[in-house]
Structure 1
Amino acid sequence: MSLVSNSAPSDLRIYKPTIIAGCPQTKELSESRAHVLQKIQSGYRKARKLLEARGGKAPACSSLCLGLLDPVSNLVINNLISYKRKRKRNCKPSRVCEVGEEEDLERRSLDGMVAFLTRLFPDLAESQAVRYLYLADADAVVAAVIIVSHVGMKRFDNSDPAVMEMALLKCAVLAAGHPDADRVVCAWRNISSRMEKVLCLLTRLSGNPPAHYSVTAIDILSRMLNEGAPFDCEEDMSWVWQLANARCPSPCSVPYRHTRLLSRTLHDAIHAFYLQALARLPAGELCSRFHRSLLKGGYCYGPLDPVSNIIINTIWYDAVFPPSKTLELDIIGMESLQRMENRSVYGLASFLCTRYHHFSFQQAVRCLLKADANLVLADHNLDPAAFGTMGCGPPLFSTAQPQGPPNTGVDKAFFAAAKAACHPNPEAQVKLLTSCKAMLGSAMSLLQDSSKLSSQDVQRLAMLLCPESPSGETGALPLKGYRHVHTRISKKVNALLNAYENMPNGDPKFKLHVICGVNDQVSCSTSDLPRGHHHSHVNFLATPKSQCGGGVPTLFFAEISNSYEDASFCRPVPLPLPCAAQVRCLHCEFMGTRIVHPVGMDFHGGESEFEKMACRKYPYDDDVGNMDIINHRFNLAESIYGSVIEDSLYDDLDGHKSKERDLSSMSIDAKILLLAKNA
């Protein structure tokens, strides 16, 4: 995604979102596609020559250039897979390709490679996938390695292995129109735990001149592929990426600037920081008042680490601008939270670009990803002493940090951040951020500890940040407006949590801390249900009741059935690592909600839906493709303007009603026009 600078004083650099996608032009795409097809064609020639010279058969009409190794090795392995059952198509997988059929195989192989990449990376358009395949010479896994580097996913190797499992290969094979995708995946799974031996056999086959034992190598490979995996073998996919890294040209020049992909990684990382901050705030204050101040002024930029900045900004806003009344609410509005996260992204980037005028938005985002959205690490001139004590010396961030002295002072940079982030009172926030470290003094230790803050802790922080806090609430406010949604979700979540796990005395093991993500539009829409959709996906934090749990909240995922036919369930999920791969859900991505999903578990919107989309059997009423999902998600998930229905909850608390436009009821076309007008 590209961004443009607002009209502002010459020393400020304020950025906001635009609708520019950054996809390649038709001519460039055509040239890239032709190059990739040429490389695939070369792979077929090499594989045919290799197999025929060693007594094997030429590539069969089902031998696609798809797999987890280099293109030629993929063709050799796929050609040795045996098929015993009757195929759905008329052609038999073992039949050798006739004249003209190989060209179709090359095209289908490219379709499969594109599906592999778009399945692995959210927001990656098919045209962009072709670009990266061009850079990788038609090696899909090497293309993935290049994308990981380009979009700033520095913890990709630390992602849960199940995020990168064989399901990726199955989607690719289905998209290529293979008649038996399950058999292909099974064969690759058979050799996955014995890849060292497989590589030795492939090396034998590629020897020149052909040796007699190369024929034996073909027989051994064939047995390994078709006779099953060793007993009790564990599926470890790390070898895929290790081998791809070895094949990847180093350094790999990436001439493209897909800022939207880079920005997506930063958005996801910041959502992880907000989940951490919610887990640290005490449940009582969070449900009575901090849910409001977090959504009004809880930005993640500031002079501390992102989580501490969120906590400080939230506590300070509540103390300086207290609500006129209290509202008990155990749910954080998803749309409001995402808007706050989006505003934080533009605040962070505008801070850096204002401090260093030669920095572009794209460079600022890359710098922030390397620094984990920590301005102290991204800009060592912000606090040189703190930078030196964090164990992150200049060499680590030298490629990302701006060079030279800053062009503006910290106060102007924070003002630019507050303006870009639509802060209700930018001047007041600048005073806070430029002085909070001195105001907190020894209380800074409360923020440096990762444990949950107590009510006494937040009261102490509030007194230090705002010694003369104005008088606050005058009474309680009944829940209204969005009551039917909040009440229904809250009841369902509490029921699931109570039934999830019990202590020895029979009491529930967990109690609800806060609900921090809801998508109530999962599965196909229907007029038979009150909510219009069959399921809802929910994230919530729950605290163990026993002392041995340490009182630290655990993140949960819940799939809630809106009908009586399907069962609801909840499962703990780890807090997401910033800049790592995440478990994908087609329905949540379509709606633009950042819900954390479980690994290795079936849920609506998971593997089966992605497989249907690969087969062009879409889970929606209309034909919805990858680009439709990308555009729909972007228009819902990355806006910083306007209000949402959830804002009406706080109208009476603040003594006024929101004057911003309600985007929730607008059509996608209307949102696009509004974004274009504001650009």
Structure 2
Amino acid sequence: MAGQRNRNRIRRQRAKARLVSEVEAEAEAEGAARVPEVDGEVVTAADRVVQRKIPLSKLSQSATKEELRRRSLIGQIRGHYLDAISRLPTTELATTLARGLLIAGHCYGPLHPVHNIIVNSVWHSAAFPMRASDRIDAPVISCRTISRLVQRSLDGLVASLRHLCPGLSDDDALWHLSLSRADLRAAVASARGFRLTASELEAAFEAAAKAAGHVKPVALALFASSVLLSVERDVVSLLNNKRRLSSADILCLSTTLLPSPLPDELPDPPLEERFTAAFKLIARKRSHLTRWYTEWVEIADTALRKYARQTAEHYLLHIIYGYGALRDEFHMVRSYHINFMAWPKNPCAREAPVFFFAKALLPSVSGFCEEDITLCCTVQPSPVEVDRCHTCLAENFQIDHPDDSKNFGGGQYYHMDGIGEDLDCPIMTDVDYRCFDPVRDIGFVECLNQDFVNYMSSSPWHRRYKKQIDLAISDYCTGII
């Protein structure tokens, strides 16, 4: 049995390595040059764009290669997000920084991708703060929220690189970004042979922000191309010298990145007066989310208690970064898979939190107990799908599973051969409701209102009983999770 588990683990590790390295091997086979150092000397004076030459005999394979390259980049960017999340202070991550990170914390910008995520999140939270009464404070981030952040960041990176290098195709842009591990500066140096110049930045970052659906594209472009560059040395020094940021560090960054308040135009009249039904929908869904978040935190805390009893190692929850409810053939919840980060109770012992996976059964009574936790163990974040169980893969839950387990949910581990759809990038996720700003989110309210109108008009019963608005809202809200 142990030998079989070892063979399974080795097979999965080889599959993972092949999936991650195939892009780089393919690039080298095509004669790719070494990516120039971003902070080094100019490689060439010629303003040229390096394009890959694909023989006609290989054109039939290009679609598969592009999918593989995109998947590899998605895995790399997800890794950048997990790194950034692990560095932020626990309290601020669940409260004041939540909207800045989950709505506007994209990874493009003039710095390293992880630094861009942190800086963009802190700046947005300081520039456009939510009222405390409007927040849902919870140490929870859903799989779909991270997937959307990753996909939007990738869209922004491609748009920015193509703006700076108009001769590139989408596939060429993905190729250079893959070589640079999603670092825009290195990708530009790879494509053109020399670095970004200050005069190019604002338009390039605005193109990125618009392609990524950023809520404040013009303001972000101005910040990243001017304010950030003026304080870049101090910011990079802080981020390089301290892996784990404190509350004082976040306050220092906020003051540095936003020396004075930004003008912020608010809608008049207030949105709630114009979209009554949409605000009722949002209130109902936020109530559902609050209960769900409480349940996920309860699972993580219970799993950590059981882990402490079994190993004598005590941890405190940092953040939940993925969860999924697994259902049977009758669509009834039977178990839960969850990922979370946790700090040892002796915080000086580590500079990074530990990543965990836990599996919990549906409790027979209200509340979770240790008997409901069937597995809790440490894991390493995986950049690709080979570590996901069949059930999580089918439900599109990006969950990191332990390597030494044979299977989960009755399904074998699934190996992607570069074929298939990208990770879903939903238009709306739970975070749109959790981080809803009633004085700024005009586009979200208008979109939700139109979707609800379409829902009402598509239902004969609701068309007939138009005055039963509360019942219609209740029916509409059943699809929240």
Pair in the same fold by TM > 0.5:
yes
Q: C-alpha distance in 2, partners of 1:519/1:440?
A: 39
The structure with the largest helix share of the pair is 2
Task: State the match for 2:342 in structure 1.
Answer: 542
Gaps of 5+ in 1: 1-115, 122-143, 155-250, 381-396, 615-625, 668-679
| 2:374 alignment partner, one of 561, 568, 578 | 568
| 1:368 alignment partner, one of 177, 199, 204 | 177
- 1:440–1:461 contact (8 Å) kept in structure 2: no
Task: State the match for 1:647 in structure 2.
Answer: 432
1:72-96 CA-partner distances (Å, limit 9, x unpaired): xxxxxxxxxxxxxxxxxxxxxxxxx
Letter in 1 for 2:294: T
Superposed counterparts of 1:570-585, under 5 Å: 570-576=376-382, 582-585=386-389
**Does residue 638 of the first structure (1) align with residue 430 of the second (2)?**
no
- 2:289–2:434 contact (8 Å) kept in structure 1: yes
- 1:333–1:517 contact (8 Å) kept in structure 2: yes
| 1:267 alignment partner, one of 52, 57, 74 | 74
Q: C-alpha distance in 2, partners of 1:481/1:541?
A: 24
- 2:123–2:257 contact (8 Å) kept in structure 1: yes
Letter in 2 for 1:439: V
- 1:539–1:595 contact (8 Å) kept in structure 2: yes
Residue 153 (structure 1) shift: 7.8
Task: State the match for 1:292 in structure 2.
Answer: 99
Task: State the match for 2:289 in structure 1.
Answer: 482
- 1:322–1:471 contact (8 Å) kept in structure 2: no
Q: C-alpha distance in 2, partners of 1:430/1:471?
A: 15
Of stretches 275-284 and 591-600 in structure 1, the one that deviates more from structure 2 is 591-600
1:502-532 CA-partner distances (Å, limit 9, x unpaired): 699x7x6100001111122x253435xxxx2
- 2:143–2:399 contact (8 Å) kept in structure 1: no
Q: C-alpha distance in 1, partners of 2:192/2:145?
A: 32
Residue 567 (structure 1) shift: 4.3
- 1:480–1:649 contact (8 Å) kept in structure 2: no
Decide whether aligned partners of structure 1 residues 403 and 494 sit closer, same or farther in structure 2, where only a CA change above 3 A counts.
same
| 2:411 alignment partner, one of 609, 614, 630 | 609
Decide whether aligned partners of structure 1 residues 511 and 664 sit closer, same or farther in structure 2, where only a CA change above 3 A counts.
farther
SS at match of 1:354: helix
1:208-263 CA-partner distances (Å, limit 9, x unpaired): xxxxxxxxxxxxxxxxxxxxxxxxxxxxxxxxxxxxxxxxxxx9x85421222211
Task: State the match for 1:593 in structure 2.
Answer: 397
Task: State the match for 1:451 in structure 2.
Answer: 243
**What number of residue pairs does the alignment pair up?**
381
| 1:468 alignment partner, one of 240, 260, 263 | 260
Letter in 1 for 2:377: R
Q: C-alpha distance in 2, partners of 1:566/1:525?
A: 21
Residue 547 (structure 1) shift: 4.1
SS at match of 2:399: coil
Task: State the match for 1:160 in structure 2.
Answer: none
Letter in 1 for 2:95: S
SS at match of 1:467: coil
Q: C-alpha distance in 1, partners of 2:437/2:112?
A: 33
Superposed counterparts of 1:180-329, under 5 Å: 254-255=58-59, 256-257=61-62, 258=64, 259-325=66-132, 326-329=135-138
Decide whether aligned partners of structure 1 residues 305 and 483 sit closer, same or farther in structure 2, where only a CA change above 3 A counts.
same
Superposed counterparts of 1:491-502, under 5 Å: 491-501=298-308
SS at match of 1:481: helix
Q: C-alpha distance in 1, partners of 2:430/2:115?
A: 28
Of stretches 560-569 and 419-428 in structure 1, the one that deviates more from structure 2 is 560-569
Residue 610 (structure 1) shift: 2.8
- 2:145–2:429 contact (8 Å) kept in structure 1: yes
SS at match of 1:568: strand
Identity %, equivalent residues: 28
What TM-score, normalized by structure 1, do the two folds share? Answer: 0.50
Residue 361 (structure 1) shift: 0.9
Q: C-alpha distance in 2, partners of 1:503/1:568?
A: 12
SS at match of 1:294: helix
Task: State the match for 2:319 in structure 1.
Answer: 514
| 2:166 alignment partner, one of 335, 338, 357 | 357
1:536-582 CA-partner distances (Å, limit 9, x unpaired): 22111101111452352111111122255964322111244x5x784
Residue 286 (structure 1) shift: 0.6
Residue 449 (structure 1) shift: 3.5
1:602-655 CA-partner distances (Å, limit 9, x unpaired): 4414xx6138x99xxxxxxxxxxx99x976x64xx3326x22244222225656
Larger Rg: 1
More contact order relative to length (CA 8 Å, sep ≥ 6): 2
Decide whether aligned partners of structure 1 residues 425 and 557 sit closer, same or farther in structure 2, where only a CA change above 3 A counts.
same
Q: C-alpha distance in 2, partners of 1:349/1:471?
A: 30
1:352-385 CA-partner distances (Å, limit 9, x unpaired): 11111111111111111111111121123xxxxx
Letter in 2 for 1:592: N
SS at match of 1:367: helix
Superposed counterparts of 1:34-113, under 5 Å: none
Residue 402 (structure 1) shift: 3.7
Q: C-alpha distance in 1, partners of 2:108/2:85?
A: 16
Decide whether aligned partners of structure 1 residues 404 and 552 sit closer, same or farther in structure 2, where only a CA change above 3 A counts.
closer
Decide whether aligned partners of structure 1 residues 449 and 150 sit closer, same or farther in structure 2, where only a CA change above 3 A counts.
same
Decide whether aligned partners of structure 1 residues 301 and 470 sit closer, same or farther in structure 2, where only a CA change above 3 A counts.
closer
Letter in 1 for 2:87: R
- 2:98–2:435 contact (8 Å) kept in structure 1: no
Q: C-alpha distance in 1, partners of 2:249/2:107?
A: 20
Task: State the match for 1:221 in structure 2.
Answer: none
